[in-house]
Structure formats: structure tokens, C-alpha cells
Structure 1
Amino acid sequence: MPKPSATIDPMRTLQADKAVLEARRLREAGKIDQAAALAAQIVQAEPTHVGALRLMGQLAMQTGATDIGIVCFSRALAVTPRSLDTLLELGNALLAGQRPAEALTAFKKGLTLRPNDGALFRGLGQAQLDMGNRADALKSFRKTLSVLPYDQYAAHMIAALTGEASKTSGGYVPDLFDTYANIFDEHLTGTLEYRVPELIRETLLARQATPHTMLDIGCGTGLTGAALHEIVAEKDGIDISPKMVRKALERDIYRYLRTGDAVEAMASDANLSGPYDLVTAADVFIYMGPLEAVFAAVARALAPAGLFAFSVETVPGEQVTVRSSGRFAHPTPYLADLAAEQSFTILEQRDIQVRRERNLPISGALYLLART
């Protein structure tokens, strides 16, 4: 690790500081490549400039270059080992790089410097969960919430880990997607390489399925509806995020749109009671955890021989698992049992890459079920 030089040139330091401010301005203006190039120049000239190292790390994380981010934050921390901000950035980068044990060390060191920091407790809980220590993770998320009572992620994780709610959305999921609505399509299909709606379309076409009516659970901005627009004549949609529903409305492809919880709305809203020839849930169940209630609701809403297409993130074993991302993963035996309980036949079960996250593929599965 580079060490601070014995002599410091005040003029060079001042020039480097000004250059860092300019690189930050470029970043804020969305000129990421230019900001990264300038930050690299500063670090080359001043290898121990903490501001430039941290900025390089932040830019690396923003572009998915996790390994570079870890190196930059580590070098910055070597210069200022008691920097809480750098410890937090390093810990989060290590989490993204799937190095939870090292992240745990960074967060714990931060807590020795500030014992009541909610962000450090949140990171600690994520690291503990990634290491399989659910009990300690729960304690850390509870500590997070005691320090930051409005931290909806911590509340979501507590509910998921305790099984206190069959739907753990609370305010976390609606707020997450309300914030995301304006950039959702471009980020999901571009940066994250999300193709589940197209895969559903390909699956239906391969089977020469001709559904006339469709309910799109978790319709979001309408990506699935758009992918199936020429296949399905009448489409209804529901989503928990009001801003996402407004975006879907702009597509003008849905017959009826509703904001709210899917299971509750299907039970109370005559416009969503069916019968439907097709129900879709693309990347929805990853935010719902246990699926007993929604499978039962779909079974009631489907017409005889109706189809049910959905995607999940997968995990070994037999138990639904919450991840530090805040999303749930569903094992194959669990889904097979649910299908049998609701008299569904599994027509297709296909391993897929659901998306990419931090340049790493997220494994999942696409299912096509039929009501029998």
C-alpha cells in the first residue's frame, strides 16, 4: 500500500484538490468516462490523494468494476485508516464483490470508531446474512432500525428474517420502485441485461399459445405487456408502485390498471377477478417471499387450462431465502409443492440468467404452469 510522502508540496496538493472537484462535477453531469480518466490522472500524479482514490472507487462501483473499487478504497484507507466514510465504502464494495468476511471486518472496525452508526450496522447485517448467520444479521438489522427508525430496508429485512409477514413489501418495495420508475426500463434492460418478458414471449410462441386475456402481476412500467402486446388482446395490470403504474398507463396497452397489493386486489376488485387465459409475474416474486397466497389467488383467477408464467431467483435447498439484496430466492422443491397444491401442471421449468448485478450474473428460473 502506498504511504504518505515525508514532504508535501502544498501547490501540488491544491492542484489535485481542484482537479478532484472538476472530476466530481463531470460525474454529476453524467460524464462518467471523463470523470474516471481525470481521477486516474490525479492518482497517477498523487498516489496517496484520498479524495481522488475514493472518487475512483465510487466511479468503479458505479460502472460495475467492483475489484477496482475495492483496490481504490483499500488504498485510501491505508492513508486515512480512521475514515468512517472510507470504511463504509470499502465494506459495501467487498459485499458487492462477494467477500462478506472481509466486509464484516471493515464494518466492525467502523463500529469501534462510531459504535452507534446505523449505516455500519446495516452493512454488518448484510455481511452476516451473506455468511449464513441469520441470527446475528437479525440483531444487526434491529440495531439499524433502532438508530434509523425510518430505514425501510432494515424493516423489510427484519420482517423477512422473522417471518412476521407473508408479504414483506411494507413501504420498502413501493418506495424502491417509485424512486426507480423514471430510469427503470433503460437500466433494467440495458445495464442489468434483463430479458424475462422476452423469454416469456418466446416460451408462449414456442408452444403456440394463444391467450386472449392476461393479468400482469407486478406490471411495473409495462415491459411484459409490451413484449406480449401482439400475442394477447386484452391485458390488465397491477403493481404496488404508483409511479410505475403511471408509466405503464403511458404505454396505452392495458385495459385496466390498478395500484396495490396483488393478492388483496385480486380478491376485492371485480376487474381483476378473471377468468384469465394467462397470468404473468416477471421478476415479482423476488420481492414477495412466501408465495402460498399469490399462487392460490392466481389459481382462482385463471380460466380452465389457463397459463401461469413467472420468474424467480433460485437457491439450493427447500426453504425460501432472503438475500442481503433484500430480494428472495425460491428453491425448486418449494415451487413444485406449491404447484401441486394448487393443481398446476409444470409445463416448463427453464434455468435462466435473471439479470446482472455488479457485473455478476444472477441465476434464476422461468416457469410456465397450466391450471388443471
Structure 2
Amino acid sequence: MLAPQSAAMLAQAGKLRAAGKVAEAAAVCVELIKRDPENADGLLLLGSLAMQTGATELAIGSLERAVAAAPKSADAYIRLGEALTAGKRAQDAVTVFRKALTLRPKDGAAFRGLAQAQLDAGNRDDALKSFRKVLTVLPYDQYAAHMAAALSGEPSKLTSSYVQDLFDHYSEHFDQHLTETLGYRVPAAIRDTLGRHHSAGGLTALDLGCGTGLVALELQGIVEAIDGIDISRQMVAKARERGLYRELRAGDLMEVLSRDQAFRGPYDLVTAADVFIYVGQLEEVFPAICQVLTPAGLFAFSVEHSMEEPVAVRSSGRFAHSVDYIGTLADQHGFRLLERHDMPIRHERNEPIPGALYLLQAE
């Protein structure tokens, strides 16, 4: 009699999850597992719900039990690998994803998870091979293409396509997710930092990677006119709704700066809030900024910290930059460091992502 009851409870939990009632769905799963401790589908769903709420250790425990209950389930191994990766147990995740691939040798999700775990474990060459294997199974996987290009040092066209698609789909929920879920405070930090070095208003500004316009919103009263560029047309459409920008363009920032007369400046301030984490190498960006800044103009931007190498690609798909790398570029292009404020750039799976906000001044 237990099987039909378990199936009904599993269906109820699935409906609750689909309706966004995660806590209620989890409660049903817990009750199901009390009654049917080896129900692999219930354990799998509970693990997925725990991952959704950031309860990584609970997820790992539930998914380990799911694997034990269904040792031939590639899906259970894939979900466990994802949880182990989130729990910073990258080498364990590599082992689990390899097990999933013995059960399902051409599974794109398993190869993708393996590649991410290998990269987190510091095995760049193995990660590159695995991302390329993803593309043999899922040739249109833009994330895998972006990661393969970044790890192999190939041209960044694939990166631009990946980032554009990412933010086009993100635009409807961008503000709420970024500020409430990820704890994003960079635009406010830019405002506060400027306030310590520039007390008067009336600045003209260029907002690189303007998104939906959060920087322009924070800089009201400080800037007299602000222009914006973003790679996502959907983001630019949202920014336009705010009515704060003088000029807005959708496109690659380097192409707009080199071809569009409306963005030649000169500007008193250039901002780039969480933009360079999607750009990577900045050797071409810094001189382009110099060209549009006024003498003694200000340049405010954020980066994620890299402790290992000058520019590092992370399994998140984002890039991190070292302090020395930024300092070298600043020196090469005649910038003086006014302030570097170390701060969490965002939160990811309830963990702060270390980074910094820089304020440079052209000399």
C-alpha cells in the first residue's frame, strides 16, 4: 500500500515546487521519506529543493542517500555532483560525475558538471577537454562554448554571444534577483566612494554595462548627464524605461566606443559595475577609457579577486582579476589609484564572492 501513497506525495511535492512553494514541498518530501526511507525519487527531489534554498549540506546528504537507493540512476549522480561542487568538494564531485558518465556516456549535463568540478579543483587542461566534450553532445551550449574559448585563449566572440544571451533572458528579474538574492551593492558603493572624492555634482558620465540602470539610479544628484552601453538589448530597454540616460546603445562596449560619435565624450566619470567579470582581458579596455575621459577624469569599476593568476576564468563563467594586474594596467595608462575598497561583490549559494571596487583618476 505504500507505493501508491508515496507516488501521491511525490506528485504533491512536485506541484508545490512548481508553484514556488519550496518550503511546503520540502515538508512533504521529508514526510514521504519518513514513511518510505529508500524512496530515491523523494530523496532526489528533497536534495534538489535543498540546493534551491542554498542548504548545500542537506542536499549532499539527501542525494547520497538517493544514489545509495538508486545506484543505476545517472540523474542521482549528476545532482549529487552538483551539490558536492557547490559544497566546495570539487575532487569528490569529479569522482561522482565520472560515475554518472559510466552510466550515461554521452550526457551533456554530466560532462558540464565534470568540467566545472575539474576547473574548481584546479585542473584547467582536464576542464577544457570536458567542456569540449559537452560541445560534441550539445553543440549549441553557449556556456560550454564560452568556457572552452576562455580556457583556450580563443577570440572572445563566443563570450559576447554567451553574455548577451544570459542577460537578455535575465532582464525581467534582474533588479530583484541581483539586489535581494545576490546581495548586490556595487552601484551604492560607487556612489559612496565618489562622495569621498568628489563633493560637487554636475558630472558627465558613461556607464559601461549599464544593465537596467542601477548605477544611474544611485548617481542621481551627482551626475548631470549619463550615457549607457550594454550588450543586452533587453537590458537597454529596461534602462530606457527609467528615463535617466541621455544616450543608450545596445552592443559590444569596444565597438560602440570606437564607432559611435555620441560616446566619444569627454566624460568626467566612467563606471563599470560588475562588467569586467564578463570581459576577461582588459588590455584594450583601459586605453579606450582613456580616450573618452576628461583630464583628471574618474574611472570607477568592480572586479572579482583572483589570487592565482592575473585573469582567471571561474566555473561560474565569470572572470576574476588580480590586484597586480589592475595595478599594472592603471600604471601603464596613466591612472592614479584614489581608492580600492575590498568588498563582497555578490553572494553565491550563500557565500560571499570576494572582490574590490576601484576608483582611479586620469593623470
State how far apart, in whole Å, the 1-side matches of 2:80 and 2:105 are. Answer: 18
Describe the superposition over 1:56-80 as per-residue Cα deviations: whole angstroms up to 9, x where unpaired: 1111111111111111111111100
Tell me if the contact between 2:142 and 2:158 (Cα under 8 Å) persists in the aligned partners: no
Structure 1 outlier segments of 4+, above 6 Å: none
Could you tell me which residue of structure 2 aligns to residue 326 of structure 1? 317
Instruction: Give ranges in structure 1 of 5+ residues lacking alignment.
Output: 1-10
State how far apart, in whole Å, the 2-side matches of 1:44 and 1:120 are. Answer: 30
Could you tell me which residue of structure 1 aligns to residue 219 of structure 2? 228
Matched, 1:154 2:154: no
Q: CA deviation at 1:37?
A: 1.6
Name the Cα RMSD after superposition. 1.2
Matched, 1:194 2:187: no
Could you tell me which residue of structure 2 aligns to residue 315 of structure 1? 306
Matched, 1:358 2:349: yes
Describe the superposition over 1:169-214 as per-residue Cα deviations: whole angstroms up to 9, x where unpaired: 2321111111111111111100111100010111011223435211
Tell me if the contact between 1:350 and 1:365 (Cα under 8 Å) persists in the aligned partners: yes
Q: For 2:143, what is the secondary structure of its paired residue?
A: helix
Change (3 A) 1:124 1:317: closer
State how far apart, in whole Å, the 2-side matches of 1:301 and 1:13 are. Answer: 69
Instruction: Give ranges in structure 2 of 5+ residues lacking alignment.
Output: none
Tell me if the contact between 2:271 and 2:299 (Cα under 8 Å) persists in the aligned partners: yes
TM-score by length of 2: 0.97
State how far apart, in whole Å, the 2-side matches of 1:353 and 1:170 are. Answer: 25
2:184 partner amino acid: Y
State how far apart, in whole Å, the 2-side matches of 1:115 and 1:31 are. Answer: 35
Tell me if the contact between 2:149 and 2:159 (Cα under 8 Å) persists in the aligned partners: no
Could you tell me which residue of structure 1 aligns to residue 19 of structure 2? 29
Could you tell me which residue of structure 2 aligns to residue 367 of structure 1? 358
Matched, 1:238 2:226: no
Matched, 1:179 2:169: yes
Q: For 1:303, what is the secondary structure of its paired residue?
A: strand
Could you tell me which residue of structure 2 aligns to residue 118 of structure 1? 108
State how far apart, in whole Å, the 1-side matches of 2:5 and 2:328 are. Answer: 65
Matched, 1:57 2:47: yes
Describe the superposition over 1:113-150 as per-residue Cα deviations: whole angstroms up to 9, x where unpaired: 12222211111111111111111111111111111110
Tell me if the contact between 1:168 and 1:289 (Cα under 8 Å) persists in the aligned partners: no
Q: For 1:290, what is the secondary structure of its paired residue?
A: coil
Q: For 1:169, what is the secondary structure of its paired residue?
A: helix
Tell me if the contact between 2:338 and 2:359 (Cα under 8 Å) persists in the aligned partners: yes
Q: CA deviation at 1:166?
A: 4.9
Tell me if the contact between 1:160 and 1:168 (Cα under 8 Å) persists in the aligned partners: no
1:226 partner amino acid: L
State how far apart, in whole Å, the 2-side matches of 1:284 and 1:50 are. Answer: 42
State how far apart, in whole Å, the 2-side matches of 1:32 and 1:211 are. Answer: 48
Tell me if the contact between 2:160 and 2:252 (Cα under 8 Å) persists in the aligned partners: no
What pairs with 1:1-372 in structure 2 (closer than 5 Å)? Answer: 11-166=1-156, 169-209=159-199, 210=201, 212-372=203-363
Deviates more, 1:148-157 or 1:23-32: 23-32
Change (3 A) 1:211 1:351: farther
TM-score by length of 1: 0.95
